[in-house]
Structure 1
Amino acid sequence: MRIIQSVNRNALMIATFSFLLGTIIFLIHLITAWEKIIVIGLFYVLIAFILNAITFIGLLANTIVNYHYYKENLKTISIFLLNIPIAIGYFLIVINNPFLNTFI
């Protein structure tokens, strides 16, 4: 996918960074028994939520202003929103933790 608008490029970089950092924190939680990682994860989710909400509002504004790039804007918003079900899935796994004491 070719990205012309810098707003969309930046939003995709933020979404990728949020996904990678969230996945790293999630995997550290699953692999280690370090209890403070949950606090770090909650703090990260709060910061990521605020940053992603601001970015999403910017994407919506960009979609309205640059309506002639609607395909690129809609693809970017769709990819950007994929982090939501992933975060919910990670949250459900952490709450249920089927791997409790598996790696220890």
Structure 2
Amino acid sequence: MKFNEPINRNALLLAFVSFLIGSCLLLTYIIYPRGFFITTGYTYLIIAFAINSAMLVALLINAFYKYKNYKENLLTISLFLLNIPICLGYLSFII
């Protein structure tokens, strides 16, 4: 997909990397169910939440100011927000 806005490309890269790290942590916990991996996962969750929240705010500001690319901006925000139900699913699996 070609992006006109670099922030959209960076946001999707961040979402993909966050998904990969979270999936690797979950898989590691499933294979080796130790308390250390739960602590690591929750710590990652807090850090990822802060970083992804900041990126979401930046995406919303970008969508507001660069409204000519609204389709690209809305698609990026929608794909970026897909990590939320995935994260909740992972949490419900662990708890």
Output the TM-score relative to the length of structure 1. Answer: 0.89
- Are 2:21 and 1:21 aligned? yes
- Tell me, in whole angstroms, the C-alpha distance in 2 between the residues paired with 1:64 and 1:2: 20
How far does residue 35 in structure 1 lie from its aligned partner after superposition?
A: 1.7
1:88 and 2:54 are equivalent in the alignment: no
- The residue identity in structure 1 corresponding to 2:47 is I
- Structure 2 counterpart of 1:4, which letter? N
Say which SS state the counterpart of residue 3 (structure 2) adopts.
coil
The one-letter code sitting in structure 2 at the alignment partner of 1:57 is V
Q: Which amino acid aligns with 1:36?
A: F
Q: Give, in angstroms, the shift of residue 34 of structure 1.
A: 2.2
**Runs of 4 or more consecutive aligned structure 1 residues displaced over 3 Å after TM superposition:** none
One-letter amino acid of the counterpart of residue 2, structure 1:
K
Q: Distance in 2 between matches of 1:92 and 1:31?
A: 17
**Which runs of no fewer than 5 residues in structure 1 stay unpaired?**
96-104
2:44 & 2:9 partners in 1: Cα distance?
Answer: 22
* 1:9-88 paired onto structure 2 within 5 Å: 9-88=9-88
CA shift digits 1:39-85 (9 cap, x unpaired): 00000000000000000000000000100000000000000000000
| Counterpart residue identity of residue 59, structure 2 | L
Percent identity over the alignment is 44
More helix by share: 2
Give the TM-score of the pair, scaled to structure 2.
0.97
Query: 2: distance between equivalents of 1:22 and 1:3?
Result: 26
Distance apart, 1:31 and its partner CA: 1.0
One-letter code aligned to 1:49:
F
Deviation at 1:33, TM superposition (A): 2.3
* Larger Rg over CA atoms: 1
What residue identity is the alignment partner of 2:92? L
